[in-house]
Structure 1
Amino acid sequence: MDAVRKALFDDPMFPFQLVFQDTKSPQRELPEHLHELYEMVYIYKGKGTFFINRNFYEMNAGDVFLIPGDTIHRAFPDPDDPVTSTAVFFSRVLVPIDSSSDSYSSLYCYELARKRKRYKFEASDSLRMQLESALLMMHQETCEKQLGYKQAVRLHLQQLLLRFNRAAVSEIQADTADIQVGPGWMKDILQYMDEHHAERGMGLSALAERVSVTAAHFSRVFKQLTGMNVTDYVNAKRIVRAKELLLTTEASIDVIADRCGFDSLPYFHRVFKAATGLTPGIFRRQR
């Protein structure tokens, strides 16, 4: 699988990165990728399309995208009106779960996004102003690096997530948050692949036959809209599932490979290492 892996943080004890008010043309945008980090993207101006998991979203000024870890995504900025955005990357260790009686989770808004498969957050004008202020303050802290700046960044991030979580409780996003891009069969086949990626028969020909188009046409449209070919997309989904099984079960690696739809253990090892930089065994032991 050729999906890009994000580089590790310079300071593993402070897993946080902020790319502030960056304007990206289509040529500078990352190809399809996924990572274990939580990501927040805020759009200041410009427009384009965002592919996240199996949905397409319009990108416009004021939009907020919450991308949980291990979620396939790629942005397609408009070449004539490129997007200027700030992206925040962080590990869950920066926002530990509250052990008090209310069992508050700082990552509730991300958990909701993953559960509902809706990654575009409909923020109010007030919340957007708070978001812009918090992003600016975190940017200043990371640039100036004064005493206690890491703690300051952590506090700004946790307060921002609290505001998003409270907004998420009171607002359920409409199913129209995603938009129709491309032919009508595209959304249906992405949903089918999301639900059946671990099964056999997920090859190009079988999928094209399912939506009654030629394999060549299917391949061309799928690559154009998602940025990935069919094999890489299916493998990315399978690797995410394999990582979950490695961390939450005691099943052997060969059993996990089979459950995730890989035809052979050597192929599973090769794809897993290409995606994560680690073998399945080392990934399990390090966690």
Structure 2
Amino acid sequence: MYRHEQVSTTDLPVKLIVHTEYLESQNVLRHWHQALEIDYIIRGDAEFVVSGQKITATSDDIIVINPNEIHSVQPLKTMNHTLSLTFLFPYEFLQQEWDAMGDCWFKISNNSLQVNLLKQTLFNYYKNSQTDRVEQKFLLKSDIYLILYDLFHYFLENKSKMIDLPAVPTLHKLAGVIDFINEHSTEELSMTQIAQYVHLSEGYLSRIFMQQMGVGVMEYVNLIRLKNAFEILTNTEKDIETISDSVGFANVKSFRRLFTKVYQTTPGKYRNNLKGQ
């Protein structure tokens, strides 16, 4: 969930991501996807930025992110027994089930009585997904349609009647930029090279990227490198210098400086703390 995602599923028309424990202390960079996203924070705290609006979510909160809304997530603190669920419903599936999906917008108030029904259905899906019963697939399919029933029955808004609809930008140009950065982040990249690839002037690219993503282009390049380095750091025993070089940082000093800025500790100390967990 770090960029423009192509959301894929298995034979079930939903993707569930379960967030737990220590590794969830990493931030999720601004990104978007066409899928409808529902985040249920069962235990924990996080700050979302959705279409430019900051939303602080605490235990037992639900956040709905509509298709193509740019969003990011930053856990506010690491706690034991953190549990958060992210559900992704591919847009094609929703459109197939609801012809007027293009006119739909979902708004949820965590103070409403109806939201408790949705929470229970989401948790049931999670609970059923943890079993290996023979009939599990049928239970999950049933839960999926119960979730959709709650969404469409209680929380559906018509875009044409909304006066506070967030501005969802046209993202096809940024998609090309981000795809290029992800594909070439291990290489030496420059602003000129990126702008030439997408046939935009450096000034225009810099301006629209900052407006939509909240960071500069080259800062985003290094954040992608940092995300890749984090995955290697927490899943292998490779040394810090090798990790820094493999993900594209100019030198290990730059890697350590950015890592410390984002995670408030050095890469080496982070790895040691992780082993202690």
2:195 corresponds in structure 1 to 208
Q: Aligned partners of 1:169 and 1:195: how far apart in 2?
A: 37
Over 3 Å counting, the alpha-carbon distance change for 1:236 and 1:93 in structure 2 is same
Q: Aligned partners of 2:201 and 2:189: how far apart in 1?
A: 15
**1:94 counterpart SS class:** coil
| Contact map agreement 2:173 2:198 (CA 8 A) in 1 | yes
2:252 corresponds in structure 1 to 265
2:204 corresponds in structure 1 to 217
Over 3 Å counting, the alpha-carbon distance change for 1:84 and 1:221 in structure 2 is closer
Q: Give the structure, 1 or 2, with the largest relative contact order (CA under 8 Å, sep 6 or more).
A: 1
| Contact map agreement 1:194 1:237 (CA 8 A) in 2 | yes
What pairs up with 1:123-134 in 2 under 5 angstroms?
132-133=112-113
| Contact map agreement 1:56 1:180 (CA 8 A) in 2 | no
Q: Is 1:75 the counterpart of 2:50 in the alignment?
A: yes
| Contact map agreement 2:47 2:55 (CA 8 A) in 1 | no
Over 3 Å counting, the alpha-carbon distance change for 1:163 and 1:272 in structure 2 is same
Q: Match of 2:210, as an amino acid?
A: K
1:148 corresponds in structure 2 to none
Q: Aligned partners of 1:168 and 1:229: how far apart in 2?
A: 44
RMSD (Å) for aligned C-alpha atoms: 5.1
Over 3 Å counting, the alpha-carbon distance change for 1:169 and 1:231 in structure 2 is farther
What pairs up with 1:1-287 in 2 under 5 angstroms?
36=25, 52-55=30-33, 65-66=38-39, 74-77=49-52, 87-88=57-58, 93-94=80-81, 107=85, 109=86, 132-133=112-113, 160-163=122-125, 166=140, 170=144, 181-182=169-170, 184-197=172-185, 199-287=186-274
Q: Match of 2:39, as an amino acid?
A: L
Q: CA deviation at 1:243?
A: 1.4
Q: What's the % identity of the aligned pairs?
A: 21
Structure 1, gaps ≥5 residues long = 1-14, 16-34, 40-50, 58-62, 78-82, 97-105, 123-127, 138-155, 174-178
1:103 corresponds in structure 2 to none
Q: Match of 1:257, as an amino acid?
A: S
Please give the per-residue CA displacement for 1:158-217, whole angstroms capped at 9, x wherever unaligned: 97444467479747x9xxxxx9724642222222323433x2233211110101111111
Q: TM-score, normalised by structure 1?
A: 0.49
Structure 2, gaps ≥5 residues long = 1-20, 60-74, 99-107, 130-139, 149-166
Please give the per-residue CA displacement for 1:114-152, whole angstroms capped at 9, x wherever unaligned: xx899x9x9xxxxx6999549779xxxxxxxxxxxxxxx
Q: Aligned partners of 1:161 and 1:242: how far apart in 2?
A: 33
Q: Aligned partners of 1:188 and 1:249: how far apart in 2?
A: 31
Over 3 Å counting, the alpha-carbon distance change for 1:214 and 1:73 in structure 2 is farther
| Contact map agreement 2:40 2:119 (CA 8 A) in 1 | no
